[in-house]
Homo-oligomer: A and B are copies of this chain.
């Protein structure tokens, strides 16, 4: 440590909010160069390399082959896939001296599809899975939390190519299993959440989220069943339909000045002479939806009045179509839309596609707009008085909502995305006409999976999950050094003893950090806690009696062992 390029800091950096960011900077692991752009100092780089090693080992174990594509890429392939524009401001674009458009790769589906197309042309070559551990670039709008969300970051991205859907399912499963092993080895606590509403099948896309209060991803889970999903992917558990028998007729009432749910609830209470809950009302929201390359289409969405629309869920439901709110021109062009009093009837009568929340099952009875100013209809029964065109997942998910598997209530939590497995299908092999010949000489189009691990982000995630108030705590698998030997005794013999111990541990194959500085024991202990090697060996006062102290940084336990047995004890841990 007297030579290590390292200065620990006493104070938290001014721009740091989350613990991992504060600690990684204070402990001299990373340094900020620009927003979302960091340097890795010696200790940080060692952890990064350890994470890379674990990721590579598990990728190689499933037969994935490592290659390395450039980060600086030509525009054309991204133009073909439409991502040159789709990425928007998140893509770093530049021009070379000849005026050719280039970009910094945010992810490499295009290039991997082209790479396989360039080399392989027979069914015999498949399946094949390729990966890279590479520096990627995304111009994040809000880079934050140090290396947790950077603009330059290291990612492992892999891509599987199969000729059949079953093959893709297998490749997907192999990656999913490998990711479970990776995160287990790294000591990361995580959940796997469904990441799509399942348009491509239930397991088409899943995210690995590290559990963390500072995470930007919200997900919900059911403690009883272990179900977990991104909020966008939660499917509402629909109640059983209700028989129409005995349901009263729908009646229109005057409800002046009730354009909001609150005012409608109050008016309904007076009309019905009983307490009315907002969940008895049905609010109808109008949006317009446009398929890529298509025309805008009006869509009505009916959800129970006690819930807000969740924009992310709404957008996910219509993907890849674009969703927008109506403007005044739209209302003017459709005079049957009576703001604040829109009901299912006018929508359906005027050919507007009308989608309802899954809770709006047949036989449910609603207070909703009567398509006239100041009027609502009471007791409008789904399936009897109106028939929607389908359901839509647009309403917010709340803590306590039933889990889709019916096992219990959902609770929400926050996480950090550390991995993503995705059955891409043929989007990119179609875009680049990747065809290979089958047994009969006929062309077959491979189907792709795409899989990512946030390698540099994991360094922050591990720090985030493992730290304590004193500093970092690295699991042995990723620690920059296996053992941290601290001299805390000015005696010359103690120094020699410590040096011998370092040599013996090194000869035994351990990577040893040796605090040989002249600083006080207090400073050294503080630094050893901040730096966070899993085992600290103190050559201190006890050395006069022939003992050294072993401190387990993870558990906090400490015990004295005779110096002659120290190496044996450490190796046997």
A residues bordering B, Cβ < 8 Å?
Answer: 3-7, 28, 31, 33-34, 37-42, 45, 48, 63, 65-74, 89-90, 92-94, 96-97, 100, 102, 104, 111, 115, 118-120, 128, 130, 135, 137, 139, 141, 151-152
Contact = CB atoms under 8 A, between A and B. Distances in A.
Given A31-B115, A89-B97, A92-B94, A37 B72 contact: yes
A41 B67 CA distance: 5
A38 B70 contact: yes
5 contacts: A7-B119, A34-B100, A37-B73, A38-B70, A90-B97
A107 to B, nearest CB: 15
Contact of A5 (B38, B73, B128): B128
A94 B94 contact: yes
Nearest to A5: B65
Q: Which 8 A-B pairs have the closest CB atoms?
A: A94-B94, A89-B97, A40-B68, A34-B74, A7-B119, A37-B70, A5-B65, A39-B69
Contacts of A93: 94
Contacts of A97: 89-90, 139, 141
B71 A42 contact: no
Stoichiometry, copies per complex: 2
B119 A5 contact: yes
Contacts of A65: 4-5, 42
A39 B112 CA distance: 10
Q: How would you classify the secondary structure of chain A's contact residues: helix, strand, loop or mixed?
A: mixed
A115 B45 CA distance: 15
B63 A3 contact: yes
A33 B111 contact: yes
Contacts of A42: 65-67
Contacts of A39: 67-70, 111, 115
Contacts of A73: 33-34, 37
A69 B33 CA distance: 9
Nearest to A6: B119
Contacts of A28: 119
B45 A66 contact: yes
A35 B128 CA distance: 27
A31 B115 CA distance: 8
Contacts of A31: 115, 118
